[in-house]
């Protein structure tokens, strides 16, 4: 049996829904555009870059994440009640949602498959150092790992540690260095 690639199956399904009048192609295009340009990891990267270059903004971000990210225009469903935790040389934060997959969509976009995986959700709480190592992040034994469990009431967002050698960088130069995984705490920002 030959498997049809997922992209072709998705396109065929969309075409069928449009033909039957169940989906308006303009609405569909609007959703796609929103997730490509308005919602996603680039938004979170802008928040991180701003915090790295503006100490006053960073203080507001750590004090009230929801209000600080709203200053940059990032708000909406799944973006209420954001708590920001900061990685330092001594403490590394990682985020999980053990019940489902609560995730700060306006900052990180749609959650990746690994974040929703029951194995990740269960294991990262019990053995975070092992799970992070399996994902490619080796932390020194003396680095404390804090696991934050997001929920429908609170969504955690990691302010990654700024990499050495980026002291003179602008926000525009810093933002492309920041990835979704660094803001979930399963990777470090590389210069």
Q: What are the beta bridge partners of residue 149? A: 96
Say if residue 3's pLDDT is above 80: no
Q: Which residue has better confidence, 3 or 50?
A: 50
DSSP letter at 73 equals T
Q: What is the pLDDT of residue 135?
A: 96
CATH label of the domain that carries residue 98? 3.90.330.10
Which segment of 31-40, 55-64, 112-121, 181-190 scores lowest on mean pLDDT?
31-40
User: How does pLDDT run across 103-133, given as a tens digit for each residue?
Assistant: 887 898 888 889 999 999 999 999 999 999 9
Q: Write down the pLDDT at residue 1.
A: 60
Q: Is 90 exceeded by the pLDDT of residue 93?
A: yes
Verify whether residue 151 is a known catalytic residue: no
The catalytically annotated residue of 100, 150, 151, 152 is 100
Residue with more model confidence, 99 or 168: 168
Distances (CA, A) of 98 to 118, 121, 122, 162: 8, 5, 6, 28
Residue 152 assigned as binding residue: no
Query: Which range is most confident: 9-23, 48-62, 65-79, 87-101?
Result: 48-62
Closest CA to 131 of 86, 96, 179, 85: 96
One domain, residues 86 and 118: yes
pLDDT of residue 80: 75
Question: Do 127 and 90 share a structural domain?
Answer: yes
Claim to verify: residue 28 and residue 79 sit in the same structural domain = no
Read off the pLDDT band of 79 (50, 70, 90).
low
150 carries an active-site annotation: no
Catalytic, out of 101, 150, 151, 152: 101
Per the domain annotation, does 1 fall within a domain?
Answer: no
The number of C-alpha atoms within 13 Å of 46 and in the hemisphere containing its C-beta is 17
Does residue 101 carry a catalytic annotation?
yes
Residues 63 and 147 in one domain: yes
Q: Cα(88)–Cα(100) distance, rounded to whole angstroms?
A: 28
Identify whether 178 is part of a domain: yes
User: What total number of domains does the chain contain?
Assistant: 2
Tell me the pTM: 0.81
Task: Specify whether 125 is located in the same domain as 161.
Answer: yes
101 annotated ligand-binding residue: yes
| 147 has pLDDT over 70 | yes
If asked whether residues 141 and 167 sit together in one domain, one would say yes
Consecutive H or E run containing 25: helix 25-33
Q: Does 29 score more than 80 pLDDT?
A: no
Residues 19 and 72 in one domain: no
- On whether 151 is known to bind a ligand per the annotation, the reply is no
Domain that holds residue 27: 6-37
pLDDT at 100 (0 to 100)? 80
Q: Are residues 10 and 47 in the same domain?
A: no
């Amino acid at each position: 049996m030959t498997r049809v690639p997922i992209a072709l199956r998705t396109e065929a399904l969309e075409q069928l829904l449009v033909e039957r009048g169940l989906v308006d192609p303009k609405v569909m295009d609007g959703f796609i555009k929103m997730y490509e340009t308005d919602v996603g990891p680039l938004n979170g990267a802008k928040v991180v870059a701003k915090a790295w270059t503006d100490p006053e903004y960073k203080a507001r971000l750590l004090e009230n994440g929801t209000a600080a990210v709203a200053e940059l225009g990032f708000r909406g469903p799944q973006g209420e009640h954001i708590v920001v935790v900061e990685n330092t040389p001594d403490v590394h934060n990682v985020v999980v949602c053990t019940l489902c997959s609560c995730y700060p969509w306006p900052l990180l976009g749609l959650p990746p498959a690994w974040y929703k995986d029951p194995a990740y959700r269960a294991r990262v709480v019990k053995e975070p150092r092992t799970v992070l190592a399996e994902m490619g992040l080796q932390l020194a034994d003396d680095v404390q790992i804090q696991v934050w469990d997001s929920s429908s009431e609170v969504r955690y967002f990691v302010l990654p540690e700024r990499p050495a050698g980026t002291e003179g960088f602008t926000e525009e130069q810093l933002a492309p260095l920041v990835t979704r995984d660094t803001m979930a705490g399963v990777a470090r920002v590389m210069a």
